[in-house]
Amino acid sequence: MATSPLSPPLLSPLPIPKLPSLLSTCNPNPNTNSNPSTWRRKKKKAISPISASSSSSSSSFRNGTPPETECPVPAEQLPVNEYQALSSSLPFSWAAADLRLYCSRLALTGGSFALFVGLPVAAFGTGAVADPQADALRCALGTASAGLLAATLAVLRMYLGWAYVGNRLLSATVEYEETGWYDGQIWVKTPEVLARDRLLGSFSVKPVLNRVKLTLVVLAVSLVVCVLLFINTENPKRSSEDGGGRAIAGVYNDASARSFEPDAFCGEPDLS
């Protein structure tokens, strides 16, 4: 029987599929391959973008580049930028400087205020008295009180600024303003940013705060002592003048009555 060259043979054996083809046919996920090496290679390719991003973020964190590139907080309101701005501004940078430089600048500030403001005010307030030693003591105490007051206010301003930045560094959230005070927002720090900020706050801000606290206590105690001494140091001339004819409220004084109403005592004997 003649067969057409285009028609297939009637008794042709069926092809037996190989095992890999069967496995690929039964595999529910057509994208995966049964070959373990090929599957591992594809898995590595799928994971490579994540690993690349994590490695780039870690390398940027080590190099000092801020990892909060997607952070909605404005740059000037980030705690790390606030710390850098505070540590380079006056008078806050004095607290982070060397101890000798810190003490000398405080002494210069207090001494300048005492010399140009406290001394003229104290000299004008005491006036000329019979005892020059008491006058000099009161003038010195007033001048020292003025200088200590200026230094105390400067240290108090330092403490408030460093405490504010330290709290923002140690906190897990950042409060910021997008355009003004009426649209405040809160951003939760990422683990990398939180670790960096807490390290900076613990090892850079806390020592400065401890120094400022100690200075503030010493200056406050010295100011209170000077003020008490200034108040308790009385003028001997004024005390002697006031001791003889000083009128007490609610008690009749004949000398005061005669001085205010001389006509009422005309022709009357002195009661004293």
Provide the number of structural domains found in the chain: 1
For 114-155, what is each residue's pLDDT tens digit? 999 988 888 887 655 556 677 788 888 889 999 999 999 999
The answer to the question of residue 43 being in a domain is: no
How far apart are the C-alpha atoms of 40 and 48, rounded to whole Å?
Answer: 12
The answer to the question of residue 213 being in a domain is: yes
Query: What letter represents residue 249's amino acid?
Result: A
The answer to the question of residue 90 being in a domain is: yes
For 158-215, what is each residue's pLDDT tens digit? 999 999 999 999 999 999 887 777 778 899 999 999 999 999 999 999 999 999 999 9
* Residues 62, 72 contacting (CB under 8 angstroms): no
The answer to the question of residue 187 being in a domain is: yes
Which run of H or E residues covers position 93? helix 92-95
Cα maximum dimension of the chain: 177
The answer to the question of residue 28 being in a domain is: no
Domain that includes residue 186, residue range: 78-236
The answer to the question of residue 85 being in a domain is: yes
The number of beta carbons lying within 10 Å of the beta carbon of residue 261 is: 10
Question: Where does the pLDDT of residue 29 fall: very low under 50, low under 70, confident under 90, or very high at 90 and above?
Answer: very low
